[in-house]
Amino acid sequence: MNETTVLRTAYEASKQEFSRISDLLYGKNRLEKYIHNIRGKFNARISYIDTLLEEIGKALDQGNLREGWDKYVELKTNKIPSLSSELLAVIGGVYMIEAHLDDAQERLGDITQDDFKALSFSDMARELVNDLARRSGRGWASVLIVGEEFFRDSEAEIIRLRFPACDI
């Protein structure tokens, strides 16, 4: 196997990976109601990755392996992992919310076992953020999920409640 074949195989695999990511962002699926507000915030990154893939393909067609490998390294070490990480956080957070794993049960007085009131930390935090957005006059169109703390800015403006603490 020569270097061109290796790069072409890696390039084709990256195109498939990018296609799956795009389908999660823009396709009809269970995530749609959660990510419809943030799709546009991924557009610049999606466009950049698409351009990188086109440039790798052109470099392969022209036999310019050095440029192809340079673009591929940028794609696989920086761009796709960053995008994948944010989407994985959304998927995990959506699962936590839909499975009610962020709910706390509070027993109110002397009531039966069947009369527990479920409290969702995600719902409470979402209400607080929405109230703050209304009071500040600044609209908020993002996603609030339960997830790991993120120590850099999220381009998609994802707000993460610390897990497993799940407190506000």
pLDDT digits over 88-119, tens only? 877 777 777 777 776 765 444 454 555 555 66
Determine the pLDDT at residue 52: 96
Residue carrying structure tokens 């557009």: 43
d(CA 78, CA 48): 12
**pTM, 2 dp:** 0.67
Beta bridge partner(s), residue 147: 162
Determine the pLDDT at residue 135: 86
